[in-house]
Copies of this chain bind each other. A is one copy, B any other.
Amino acid sequence: MVEDRKLAVLRAIVEDYVATEEPVGSRALVERHGLGVSPATVRNDMAALEEEGFIHQPHTSAGRVPTDKGYRLFVDRLSGVKPMSAAEKRAIATLLDSAVDLDDVVQRSVRLLSNLTHQVAIVQYPTLSRSTVRHIELVQITPSRIMLILILSTGRVEQRLLETPVAPSEHQLADLRTRVNQAAAGERIADASAALGALPETLAQDDRALAQSVVDVLTEAMSDHRSDERVAVGGAANLARFGDSFQTAVRPLLEALEEHVVLLKLIGEVTSGDSVTVRIGHEGPYSELASTSVVAAGYGPPDQALATLGVVGPTRMDYPGSMAAVRAVARYVSRILDEGQQ
């Protein structure tokens, strides 16, 4: 009973603080939420909450502000996920349905997420590792140059240029094209790499050198981390609303936005496929970003999460709303990828 009210007070504090960005006092609390008790009672609860580390007083005679621990409790037990409105759902569906290719899906998702949440949105491109090789194409561009094109089941295309010391014959190239496709097509990246690695040995001495360099470039392209690490970012303009704590919070975040490795680490490490992960303030891996929170979710086919998307914002953010938006977008993107895959 008492415990329940304490939690209600915490929830009210979080909601008010997120809305007003100002420390919230006992009087405002009972007025704005129908708590049905007097300010003095709320003060007692507040004292207890502060004792337990959920809220914090910037200075004596100021209102209370949630701590990271307070937000954590709020997210875990108090908030739930605010359902999206029908209009929002429609907007998501129509916007994403009209995407023309994988890149477009990612771009649109970023824009969507940042618009829905008014935060900075981050969408990781689907990783290669789980996808399969659909086709490999070798194109002779000049006598001494071959363009290698690697097409994956996710729709991603990687291209590489290969210099050859001697010009291969038309027939030689066609033969090699057939063989690499036989070895790799339909296989997962890892398996394809292995199969390709064994390929040159099976060839006649004359063809071996060319095959080896082609295979080298292909395996390099497959294992290339850059592809795994690609992310799209959007909504940086929303950082302008940070207002206070500018040097301390915005600058590191702006820097992080250009370090895609950092971003991946931020939104990465999602546990399960469907649920939304929230990382609050100091819980994240970077101490410079202690005043920012991340709301992220994996997306991809039901059984396997291909990649992650999410938003980054101040710890003082609308968690229920962000979680709802992130979850909704992740689901729609999953569905679209699934359909495109069939």
A residues whose Cβ falls under 8 Å from a Cβ of B: 101, 134-135, 137, 139, 141, 147, 149, 151, 155, 157, 159-161, 234-237, 239-240, 246-247, 250-251, 254-255, 257-258
Contact = CB atoms under 8 A, between A and B. Distances in A.
Nearest to A233: B258
Contacts of A149: 137, 139, 149, 157
A318 B239 CA distance: 26
A246 B257 contact: no
A288 to B, nearest CB: 12
A240 to B, nearest CB: 4
Contact of A151 (B135, B139, B250): B139
Given A141-B134, A159-B157, A251 B240 contact: yes
A119 B313 CA distance: 24
A161 B101 CA distance: 8
A339 B254 CA distance: 35
Given A135-B147, A139-B137, A141-B134, A258 B235 contact: yes
15 contacts: A101-B161, A134-B141, A137-B137, A139-B149, A139-B151, A141-B151, A147-B151, A149-B149, A157-B157, A234-B258, A236-B236, A239-B254, A240-B246, A240-B254, A246-B246
Nearest to A236: B254
A139 B135 contact: yes
A272 to B, nearest CB: 31
Contacts of A257: 236-237
Contacts of A141: 134-135, 151
Contacts of A239: 254
A115 to B, nearest CB: 11
Contacts of A134: 141
A234 B260 CA distance: 12
Contacts of A135: 139, 141, 147
A101 B147 CA distance: 12
A135 B161 CA distance: 13
